[in-house]
Structure 1
Amino acid sequence: MSLDRPVTPDPYELLPSVPSFEVTSDDVTEGQALKDDQVQAAGDTSPQLSWSGFGDDTKSFTVTCFDPDAPTPSGFWHWVVCDIPASVTSLDTGAGAEGGAGLPEGAFMCRNDVGTKAFTGAAPPEGDQVHRYFFVVHAVKEEQLGVDSDASPAVVSFNLAFKTAGRAILTGTYQH
């Protein structure tokens, strides 16, 4: 089976336009390969993220990590964190560990495509094309997104389509 496929578009370009703001990381550099810590086989550690410049209408944040280049029609969700209070503007390295002890009060993780409520690192098939990992901070217009921790990433994304006030994107890459 050949894993050569055309590169998919930026999935966020397909959504309604919203204002952008800034997200930075001590662990992920825009357009560069992820560190071993963010790879499933070598660490499964969520990266540090900080954000700024979001609108005054922000009442909470949702953070996601999505790989649109996975060999599935729906891509692959690595991380979903909901209901981060608007007063919080960063997550520490490792905040996505199972159990959520590193998350701010009130925030929680939904199940990812591995089925865990945690961050799952990059794990593209060996020999596949370079994969992109979109770390996205969504500024949300409500204090709670309206989902619980059993929500699928698709349900979280559906809710975000109507409640996003702004979006900040940082994209890392990885190839096995």
Structure 2
Amino acid sequence: MSLERPVAPDPYELLPAVGSFTVTSTDVSGGEQLPASAVHDSAGGQNVSPQLSWSGFPEGTRSFVVTCFDPDAPIPGGFWHWIAVNLPASTTELAAGAGADDASLPGDGFHVRNDMSAPAFAGAAPPQGDQPHRYYFVVHAVDVDALEVDENASAAVVSFNLAFHTLARAIITPTFRH
């Protein structure tokens, strides 16, 4: 059985336009293959969230949300790998490993369950031989101190709230195929 299918559109181009700012990483690069550190252990990796740092976000930013989404997963809704919400506006970096289930996030930040049902980062694990998958690591600059969600919110509920509170986004999109 072949998993060949059309390439999914950039999911963020489907949302209302917002400003942009810069996100960089010492671990991942846009358009480049993810390192083994950011690959799920079930696919031979170490399952460690990459280091991310950001700058140039708009005045009025009151908090951040960091997400990782794979629109190329072989399911209609894509796959959420990471959702860290309510990071204080003073946060401009997450160290490698900040997505661990036992990691402490800045301020009142917390993880929402990813699509593997864990409140943590889940590394890349596309089906063997599938097309290259894109992993959208996105830092969302938010206009409220905290989204009105808790640890039990789904990624869809967080995303819905972000549609109304995002001032700008910073995106870095590495790929992975094995």
Tell me the amino acid that sits aligned with residue 121 of structure 1.
G
Tell me the amino acid that sits aligned with residue 158 of structure 2.
V
Q: Percent of aligned positions with the same letter in both sequences? A: 61
Tell me the amino acid that sits aligned with residue 18 of structure 2.
V
2:125 counterpart residue number: 123
- Structure 2 residue corresponding to 1:90, chosen from 90, 93, 103: 93
Q: Is the counterpart of residue 150 in structure 1 residue 152 in structure 2?
A: yes
**TM superposition score normalised by structure 1:** 0.98
Q: 1:100 touches 1:108 (CA, 8 Å); kept in 2?
A: no
2:53 counterpart residue number: 50
Q: Report SS of the residue matched to 1:27.
A: coil
1:170 counterpart residue number: 172
Note the residue ranges of structure 1 that are not aligned, 5 or more in a row.
none
**TM superposition score normalised by structure 2:** 0.97
Residue correspondence of structure 1 range 1-176 to structure 2 within 5 A: 1-41=1-41, 42-101=45-104, 103-176=105-178
Stretches (4+) displaced over 3 A: none
Root-mean-square deviation (CA, aligned residues, Å) is 0.6
Tell me the amino acid that sits aligned with residue 60 of structure 1.
S
Q: Report SS of the residue matched to 1:66.
A: strand
Q: 2:97 touches 2:103 (CA, 8 Å); kept in 1?
A: no
Tell me the amino acid that sits aligned with residue 72 of structure 1.
I
The count of corresponding residues between Structure 1 and Structure 2 is: 175
